[in-house]
Chain A
Amino acid sequence: MTSILTYTFKTLPSTSQWAFRFSIRPLSCSSQLQAAPAAQPKSKKTLAKPNLRNIVVVDGVRIPFLLSGTSYKDLMPHDLARAALSGLLQRTSVPKEVVDYIIFGTVIQEVKTSNVAREAALGAGFSDKTPAHTVTMACISSNQAMTTGVGLIASGQSDVVVAGGVELMSDIPIRHSRKMRKMMLDLNKAKTLGQRLSLISKFRLNFLAPELPAVAEFSTNETMGHSADRLAAAFAVSRLEQDEYALRSHSLAKKAQDEGLLSDVVPFKVPGRDTVTKDNGIRPSSLEQMGKLKPAFVKPYGTVTAANSSFLTDGASAMLIMAEEKALAMGYKPKAYLRDFVYVSQDPKDQLLLGPTYATPKVLEKAGLTMNDIDAFEFHEAFSGQILANFKAMDSDWFAQNYMGRKAKVGAPPLEKFNNWGGSLSLGHPFGATGCRLVMAAAHRLRKEGGQFGLVAACAAGGQVRHGSFWKVIVLGWGEETGSSKNV
């Protein structure tokens, strides 16, 4: 038993160790928020499409995102999802019976609650007549939940959909080895004592070695961090640049938290513990402190460290999506319109984390917008190196011409409009739940900063995805076209 425990400990992600180390670091107060950019003429006023229903986000919430192994560690995934759903019910006061459908995204599944959407919905007091299903698409699982909902509404199947996502990295299904499982299953079928004994006699000690969920890409056997390090090297992103970007993320998140901008967070009374009210992974440090860390994946010369990577996180999010006319009829003032989205995929080995580069120009073209039209960018930050590599790729004519089949680069998003309230590096990244957080952050920022269009992008990989990383972009058309949303 000891050996098993040791093994488990050894494979604990280094990120969480880092988390402990940094938890007492002093805060740095450097403010990097830029003044709002001068208003530019928009190339387009409305993204509404003829003969298609407008789809709106009524509201969205999330429970605080916590470092795994902290306050949520004794819970189960559906408990977190339940808390998010309850929070949504409370925030929107939506009558349970009008909800037509519930969809949740998750990545590492708890086998007892494989349809976690249904378990959580029942537990949160939704109607047992409301169907629910669970989707998975690596780190964009909740994006998939949202767009599935968009599809249901657009096609007229539903009017009101709840979409969300959940991830609990504090507890993951560690299995018996295949040999052990096989023996146990055979034992179940064995009828006589003799058969059982002969099966047991085949037992070997190594059967007890546990099987951990793979952190590596199934197709390439490469861990995400390793891939990010190679990506950073391919785009010549330095360690300092990565540390600076991570520091920016933490500083902006801290500022947003202090100013109460993260209004999608709902408090969660954890059974047997205190009420959790805010994210606990935001820890601005200093470049000196960050510079001391050793590379976490490519040793000893790599550039990706625990400090410039997103950490393992527990959390859940949920969002209420409706057909516009339904929302208005019910007296809601929608927070955002969900417009175009696109999923793209690439080679899982060398371009695993380059999705935003491919997806951004595509979705902009689809929506008839340019980079200049976008007021708020919300990109998922898996690693500093990944974000910066994407910036360089988007800003490279050579890359656009040789790998994307485009005539020219789309250009990198301006930093002053980019993840201004922190990102996955600082707020945390519960795989299945991040998508909804990104959309709500974009919606809230547009509201606060007075913009019209937001663009959300996220990268995902791993798991069952066979041939590439999947990315998605949602263009949020901020409602100028309907009077009701003007003052929201």
Chain B
Amino acid sequence: MVASRAIGILRRFSNASRTLRCPGYICRNFTRSSALLSRTHINYGLKGDVAVVRINSPNSKVNTLNKELQAEFIEVMNEIWANDQVRSAVLISAKPGCFVAGADINMIASCKTPEEVRELSQEGQRMFEKLEKSTKPIVAAISGSCLGGGLEVSIPSAFDMMLTGRNIRADRAKRMGLVDQLVEPLGPGIKPPEERTVEYLEEVAVTFAKGLADKKISLKRNKGLMETFYLPGLTSFAMSIPFVREQVYKRVEEQVRKQTKGLYPAPLRIIDVVKTGLEQGKEAGYLAESQKFGELAMTKESKALIGLYHGQVVCKKNKFGTPQKEVKHLSVLGAGLMGAGIAQVSVDKGIKTTLKDATLGGLSRGQQQVFKGLNDKVKKKALTSFERDFIFSNLTGQLDYQGFEKSDMVIEAVFEDLNLKHKVLKEVEAVIPEHCIFASNTSALPINEIAAVSKRPEKVIGMHYFSPVDKMQLLEIITTEKTSKDTSASAVAVGLRQGKVIIVVKDGPGFYTTRCLAPMMSEVLRILQEGVGPKKLDSLTTSFGFPVGAATLVDEVGVDVAKHVSEDLGKAFGERFGGGSPELLKQMVSKGFLGRKSGKGFYVYQEGVKSKNLNSDMDSVLAGLQMPPKAEVSSDEDIQYRLVTRFVNEAALCLQEGILATPAEGDIGAVFGLGFPPCLGGPFRFVDLFGAQKVVDRLRKYEAAYGKQFTPCQLLIDHANSPNKKFYQ
């Protein structure tokens, strides 16, 4: 059991690192029962000799494992075990679409010491052990999300069922052996479908529970989780040989280290716990588990990830309220990578989308991109081919402005050229209706400059998407002083429908994200010019926690784009954005080294070739622009901090100048849009956890070597001067 439970946690970790949705540390936690007079979370009734236990947290969309719920649960289960009339039990949620979403994050966050968390964990273990050893069969009837502790409530149960899941689809869970039976959601009938589905699930579960108690149904679970999920092909026999086990631990550990770069402590602890459990027996395993869990909950990484979770929740809300008119028809100008990406995330949410391009070739490429994005989902069985076709029918491709009078919103994603944007804006305003919003997808051009030629600047807004649009969760919305509140509300509403996490920032050169990235990129160039190779630089940045290496990032963004941005922002901010020579990017562009899109940048990109090779033609370019490194600030660690502190300093400046409204949005923007290390929680969380004084000290050190570019901003200095000042209280 230890093994399978820990695997459950491992899985959750991988979700966390990929989607950053749920912190990887959340585990089960149950506390001592506090005597409650009436039950608010759980009630139960008898259906013949089957006890049906219904979980229903009051005033909440989801059920979370908190102290009260757990206390009531223990109480109810004890009654059930003591009651001779009950021969089996069914656990079910009264909320359609959610069984148990996991532990209450706030409960863990409120713990002050590792011991407190350990206590929570051990209480939980005792409870789960009791469930596991129950003499009466327990069936968990799960509808909807079942995460973390929720899953563990159900795993030890004698018999589980699952309906629709989110992260693991229900049918996959069945194949993995997590679940015994599937119940398909029902359509309209004598009652609303969700209601009747839960009722039906309960009916089926009760029949099963009866069958189990009467020994009419036997459980066949011949495959353990280990074999089916994590270590394919390994039989339990092989696992019984100590040597094989050693090899397995080693392999898993290597893999985890490779994936996490040692930056996330949880997965390694989990392996330890599994090892302890298998080698020294259950008791030792449980003990190790609760201890490690207690330690982990207190780490900086845990705080950073929990902070990101809360930030994300905030950025999934529309603070401008409901817009007057829902956007039903969206038009996207420019079928390039961005335009087609925006179209893709819109059509699959049922928004009628028109994709317009200037050329047939460009349009076809864009349409193919949308189709491919959908078709990849068919290959992964996330969509049926019919659903793909149906979604794709929401997309219309065209070369003219026909039908634009029906548009509720136009998003332009044409080339980053102010004159072109002006031309497009004027053309569009001639054909769109009064209420239609004009949004510009630009990464650096100030929105008020674009809006300057508009007849109705209150309807103009910036919507900065990140590439690839279907994968990157962030949307940066930019409002000018003239943008109306309803326009903002509408843009946020569209973004939320597209599944985005949204930050809303004030207008200015580079807004927030691009502005933070630019000085860091400038530093990247300087470091390269100082003779650090792209590969070395990449490994330095990824080992600091960035998902993509700095040199690779330039290639991915596109050298021409980087050049454009650095020139624009260089003009706006002057010397402070200096560092590397602009000549480097200029020469690369003139040689056609535009990064991945042209096949060559710092690296060479070939279709079908996975390993990246350096572009040898870059050697001469870099040699010609070489700068002497300064020994006192060129250690590996210094290089990492030169990059990060410039980033953090610029972010703080954005908050100081009011570009950013809150530090939380700054952190979300940096992590979700720019790949700022999630384990650090974002620039502002980083300052809080690392210490403002230390950040300022670093900046001063580099300022001494390079000057103004590293001068700490006033806000950081204020924080350094008064240690009680935190971005997050």
Tell me whether B40 is interfacial, beta carbon within 8 Å: no
Interface contact B207-A351, CB-CB below 8 Å: no
A9 within 8 A of B: no
> Which residues of B lie under 8 Å from residue A221 when comparing CB positions?
384, 386
Given contacts A233-B200, A301-B207, contact A220 B386 (CB under 8 A): yes
Asked whether B200 lies within 8 Å of A219 as measured between CB atoms, the reply is no
Most chain A CB neighbours (cut-off 10 Å) among B184, B189, B192, B196? B189
Q: Which of A298, A300, A301, A389 contacts B189 (CB 8 A)?
A: A389
In the bound complex, residues from chain B placing their C-beta under 8 Å from that of A231 are 187, 189
- Give the CA-CA distance A392 to B187 in the complex, in Å: 14
Nearest-neighbor residue (CB-CB) of A231 within chain B: B187
Contact B207 A235 (CB under 8 A): no
In the assembled complex, A207 has its CB within 8 A of some CB on chain B: no
- Is B204 an interface residue when CB atoms closer than 8 A count as contact? yes
Interface 1/0s, chain A 382-404, versus B by CB < 8 A?
00000001001100101100110
Asked if B384 contacts A392 (CB within 8 A), the reply is no
Complex Cα gap A293–B727 (Å): 67
Shortest beta-carbon distance, B161 to chain A, in Å? 10
**Residue B181 at the A interface, CB < 8 A?**
yes
Q: Provide the bound-state CA to CA distance between A351 and B187, in Å.
A: 7
* Interface residue ranges of B186-216 to A (CB < 8 Å): 186-193, 196, 200, 204, 207-208
**A403 vs B204: C-alpha distance when bound (angstroms):** 26
**Is the C-beta of A350 less than 8 angstroms from some C-beta in chain B?**
yes
CA distance A403 to B207 in the complex (A): 31
Decide: B204 and A301 in contact? CB cutoff 8 A. Answer: yes
Known: A234-B193, A301-B181, A301-B204. A350 touches B386 (CB 8 A): no
**CB neighbors of B among A184-233 (8 A):** 218-221, 226, 230-231, 233
Q: Which chain A residues lie closer than 8 Å to B386 at the CB level?
A: 218-221
Within 8 A of B (CB), among A266-305: 298, 300-301
Instruction: Take A220-B384, A234-B193, A301-B207 as given contacts and tell me if A350 and B188 are in contact as well, using a CB distance cutoff of 8 Å.
Output: yes
Q: Which of A219, A349, A396 contacts B187 (CB 8 A)?
A: A349
Known interface pairs A218-B386, A220-B384, A220-B386. Does A402 touch B188 (Cβ–Cβ under 8 Å)? yes
Q: Mark interface residues in B165-190 (1 if CB within 8 Å of A CB, else 0).
A: 00000000000000001011011111
A226 to chain B: closest residue by CB: B184
Choice from B187, B192, B204 contacting A230 with Cβ under 8 Å:
B187
A215 CB, min distance to chain B CBs, angstroms? 16
Q: Give every chain B residue within 8 A of A236 (Cβ-Cβ).
A: 189-190, 196
Q: Given contacts A220-B386, A301-B207, is CB(A392)–CB(B181) below 8 Å?
A: no
Contacts of A298 in B (CB 8 A): 184
Interchain CA distance A233-B192 in the complex, whole Å? 13
Residue of B nearest to A352 (CB): B187
- Whether the Cβ atoms of B384 and A234 lie closer than 8 Å is no
- Name which residue of chain B comes closest to A299, CB basis: B181
Residues from chain A with a CB closer than 8 A to the CB of B196 are: 233-234, 236
Measured in the bound complex, the distance between the Cα atoms of B210 and A211 in whole Å is 42
Q: How far is the CA of A231 from the CA of B189 in the complex (A)?
A: 7
Give, as a whole number of angstroms, the nearest-CB distance from A191 to chain B: 31
B481 to chain A, nearest CB (A): 47
Which B residues are CB-close (under 8 A) to A219? 384, 386
Q: Which residues of B contact A403 (CB under 8 A)?
A: 188
Whether B190 and A233, one on each chain, are in contact in the complex, defined by CB atoms closer than 8 angstroms, is no
1/0 per residue B528-547: CB within 8 Å of A?
A: 00000000000000000000
Chief secondary structure at chain B's binding surface: loop
Whether B207 and A234, one on each chain, are in contact in the complex, defined by CB atoms closer than 8 angstroms, is: no
Bound Cα distance A234, B185 (Å): 9
Partner of A233, one of B181, B186, B207, B208: B186
Residues from chain A with a CB closer than 8 A to the CB of B192 are 402
Specify the chain A residue showing the minimal Cβ separation from B217: A300
Contact assessment for A399 and B200 in the assembled complex, using a CB-CB cutoff below 8 Å: no
Most A-side CB within 10 Å, residue of B181, B186, B204: B186
B190 with A234: CB separation less than 8 A:
yes
A300 to B218, CA, bound (A): 13
Residue from the list A218, A226, A301, A351 in contact with B188, Cβ < 8 A: A351
Given known A-B contacts A218-B386, A219-B384, A301-B207, A230 and B186 have beta carbons under 8 A apart: yes
Cα separation A168 to B204 with both chains bound (whole Å): 38
Contacts of B181 on A, CB cut-off 8 Å?
300-301
A398 near B193: Cβ-Cβ < 8 Å? no
CB distance from B305 to the nearest CB of A (A): 38
Residue interface mask A367-395, B partner, CB < 8 A = 1: 00000000000000000000001001100
Provide the residues of chain A in CB contact with B190, threshold 8 Å.
Answer: 234-236, 392, 396, 398-399
In the assembled complex, which residues on chain A have CB atoms less than 8 Å from the CB atom of B208? Answer: 301
Measured between beta carbons, the chain A residues less than 8 angstroms from B191 are 398
Contacts of B187 in A (CB 8 A): 230-231, 234, 347, 349-351
Interchain CB contact under 8 A, B189 and A234: yes
Tell me the minimal C-beta distance from A86 to chain B in angstroms.
Answer: 41
Looking at the assembled complex, report how far the CB atom of B170 sits from the nearest CB atom of chain A, in whole angstroms.
Answer: 14
Verify A235–B384 contact, CB threshold 8 A.
Answer: no
Q: How far is the CA of A300 from the CA of B208 in the complex (A)?
A: 10
Q: What is the CA–CA distance of A249 and B133 in the complex, to the nearest angstrom?
A: 50
CB-CB under 8 A from A389, the residues of chain B are 189
Which residues from B are CB-within-8-Å of A234? 186-190, 193, 196, 200
How distant is the Cα of A301 from the Cα of B210 in the complex, in angstroms?
A: 13
**Is B188's CB under 8 angstroms from A399's CB?**
yes
Q: How far is the CB of B369 from chain A (nearest CB, A)?
A: 25
- The answer for the CA separation of A396 and B188 in the assembled complex, in Å, is 12
Kindly list chain B residues whose C-beta atoms are within 8 Å of the C-beta of A230. Answer: 184, 186-187
Tell me, in angstroms, the Cα distance from A389 to B384 when the chains sit together: 27
Task: Considering the complex, give the chain A residue whose CB is closest to the CB of B390.
Answer: A219
Instruction: Enumerate chain B residues within 8 angstroms of A399, measured Cβ to Cβ.
Output: 188-190
Chain B residues near A220 (CB, 8 Å)? Answer: 384, 386
With both beta carbons as reference points, the residue of chain A lying nearest to B204 in the complex is identified as: A301
Does A350 lie within 8 Å of B193, measured CB to CB?
A: yes
Q: How far is the CA of A301 from the CA of B184 in the complex (A)?
A: 12
Q: A301: which B residues are within 8 A, CB to CB?
A: 181, 183, 204, 207-208
Q: Is the CB of B204 within 8 A of A235?
A: no
Q: How far does the alpha carbon of A220 sit from the alpha carbon of B191 in the complex, in Å?
A: 23
State how many angstroms separate the Cβ of A377 from the closest Cβ of chain B: 22
CB-defined interface of A73-89 with B at 8 Å, one 1/0 digit per residue? 00000000000000000
Q: Measured between C-beta atoms, what is the minimum distance from B212 to chain A in Å?
A: 13
B207 contact set on A, CB distance < 8 A: 301
Write the B359-399 contact mask toward A (1 if CB under 8 angstroms, else 0): 00000000000000000000000001010000000000000
Q: CA A392 – CA B191 in complex, angstroms? A: 11
With both chains docked as a complex, state the minimum distance between the C-beta of B567 and any C-beta of chain A, in angstroms: 52
| Interface hub of A218, A350, A389 (most chain B Cβ within 10 A) | A350
Chain B contacts for A233, CB-based, 8 A:
186, 189, 196, 200
The docked-state distance in angstroms from the alpha carbon of A418 to that of B184 is 32
CB distance from B214 to the nearest CB of A (A): 15
Residue among A218, A221, A235, A347 facing the most chain B CB atoms (10 A cut-off): A235
Distance between Cα atoms of A220 and B200 in the complex (Å): 22
Q: Please list 25 pairs of residues, one from A and one from B, whose beta carbons are closer than 8 Å in the complex, sorted by A's number.
A: A219-B384, A230-B184, A230-B187, A231-B189, A233-B189, A233-B196, A234-B186, A234-B187, A234-B189, A234-B190, A235-B189, A301-B183, A301-B204, A301-B208, A350-B187, A350-B188, A351-B187, A389-B189, A392-B189, A392-B190, A393-B189, A399-B188, A402-B188, A402-B192, A403-B188
Closest 10 CB pairs of A and B: A350-B187, A234-B189, A219-B386, A234-B186, A235-B189, A301-B204, A233-B200, A403-B188, A230-B186, A234-B187
A residues sitting closer than 8 Å to B (CB atoms) are: 218-221, 226, 230-231, 233-236, 298, 300-301, 347, 349-351, 389, 392-393, 396, 398-399, 402-403
A-binding residues in B (CB < 8 A): 181, 183-184, 186-193, 196, 200, 204, 207-208, 384, 386
Given contacts A234-B190, A399-B188, 9 further A-B contacts (CB under 8 A): A218-B386, A220-B386, A233-B196, A233-B200, A301-B181, A350-B187, A350-B188, A350-B193, A389-B189
